[in-house]
Amino acid sequence: MSETPAIPAESPVARAVPPVVNRIVRGDVLEVLPAWPDGCVDLVFADPPFNIGYQYDQYDDNRPPDEYMAWTQRWIGQCRRVLKPGGTLWIAIGDEYAADVRVAVRRQGWFTLRNWIIWHYTFGQNCKLKFNRSHTHLFYFVKDGARFTFNVDDPRLRVPSDRQLKYNDKRANPNGRLPHDVWTFSRVCGTFKEREGWHPCQMPVALLERIVLACSNEGDVVLDPFAGSGTTLVAAARHGRRWAGVELSAEYARKAEGRVTEETAAVR
C-alpha cells in the first residue's frame, strides 16, 4: 500500500522529467543538479563524503567544518528542489556531522524527519584505544509529512516478529512486522563477492534495496547525487525503477554505470 495520493495529471510537476535517465552524469553535484527541473525525482539517496579524510581519487575529504556544512546545505537544497512534492530524501552521514546535518535541515524547515535509522555494521575498523565504531546514521526525510510513498505491505520489507518467532502467539500478524530502526547489514568487505574493488566505500546493496522498495514504486525516478560505485542505482534497476546518478570522478562514474547496466541486462 502506498501512502502517496496521486499528483494531479495537469500539474507541471507531474510532467517534469530529469534530463538524463538510466545514466550517471560525470560532474559536480552543484553544477549538474541546478540544470534539472523542479520536481522531477521521486527518491534521493545521498551518501556524501563524510569529511573525515577518506582517500577518494578526485575529492578532498578534509575541509574546514563550516565550509563543509555550507556545501552540505547547498546540495541538500538542490535535492529538495528536484524532488517531487511527495518525494523522499535519505542521507547517510557519520558521527562527525550527523547532529549538524539534522539541525541544519530542521532550521531550514525543508523536510520532515520520519526515521533516524542506525545502520549497525559488522566488519568495522578495529580501534585499540577506544570503543569500536560500528554504525552510520541514515536520515529518512520526506518533503511533505502528510504525503509520501511508504510501501508498508511489501512482503520484501517485512521481517518475522517476536510473536511469531519466540512466543508462538496466535495474535501475531502472519505477514510479520516492519524492521526496527537499527538495521544490521555487514559492510562490503574485500573478500565479498559483491565487492567491486575499485571504490573505497561501497555500501551493501541489500540496505539500498530496503530503502528503494519502501520509498518508491516501479517506474519512479531514483537519484543518487554521490553515485560512487553505483549501489543505489543497482538497487533501483533491480526493482524496475528509473535511475540517475551524479559522480565527480570520471573513473567511478564510468565503472558504476557499467555495473548498473550489467545489472539491468541481468534482470531482463
Ligand X SMILES: C[S@@+](CC[C@H](N)C(=O)[O-])C[C@H]1O[C@@H](n2cnc3c(N)ncnc32)[C@H](O)[C@@H]1O
List the one residue from 80, 137, 199, 238 that touches ligand X (CB under 6 A): 199
Q: What mask, x for binding ligand X by CB under 6 A, covers residues 12 to 31? A: ----------------xx--
Among 42-50, 93-101, 147-155, 213-221, the segment contacting ligand X (CB under 6 A): 42-50
- Report in angstroms how near the CB of residue 29 gets to ligand X at its nearest: 4
Which of 58, 108 has the CB closer to ligand X? 58
Give the closest residue to 183 by CA, choosing from 209, 162, 201.
209
Unique residue bearing C-alpha cell 530496503:
210
Q: Residue 39 carries which side chain, given as an amino acid letter?
A: G
> Is 135 strand, coil or helix?
strand
Which of 119, 150 has the CB closer to ligand X? 119
> b vs e for 119-138, b when ≥16 Cβ sit within 10 Å of the residue's Cβ?
bebeeeeeeeeeeeeebbbb
Q: Contacts with ligand X in 213-242 (CB under 6 A)? A: 226, 228-229, 231
Check binding of 263 to ligand X (CB under 6 A): no
- Report in angstroms how near the CB of residue 37 gets to ligand X at its nearest: 19
Instruction: State the Cα–Cα distance between residues 258 and 264, nearest whole angstrom.
Output: 10
**DSSP state for residue 197 in the 8-state scheme:** S
Which of 84, 199 has the CB closer to ligand X? 199
With CB under 6 A, what is the number of residues at the site for ligand X?
21
Q: Is 93 exposed, middle or buried (0-12, 13-18, 19+ CB in 10 A)?
A: buried
Among 123-131, 199-207, 213-221, 258-266, the segment contacting ligand X (CB under 6 A): 199-207
- Report in angstroms how near the CB of residue 45 gets to ligand X at its nearest: 8
Check binding of 150 to ligand X (CB under 6 A): no
- Say if strands 135-142 and 83-93 run parallel, antiparallel, or are unpaired: antiparallel
Q: At what angle do helices 65-82 and 95-108 cross, to 10 degrees?
A: 50
Unique residue bearing C-alpha cell 560532474:
27
- Report in angstroms how near the CB of residue 76 gets to ligand X at its nearest: 13
Interface contacts to ligand X, rule CB under 6 A? 28-29, 47-49, 56, 58-59, 199, 201-203, 226, 228-229, 231, 246-249, 252
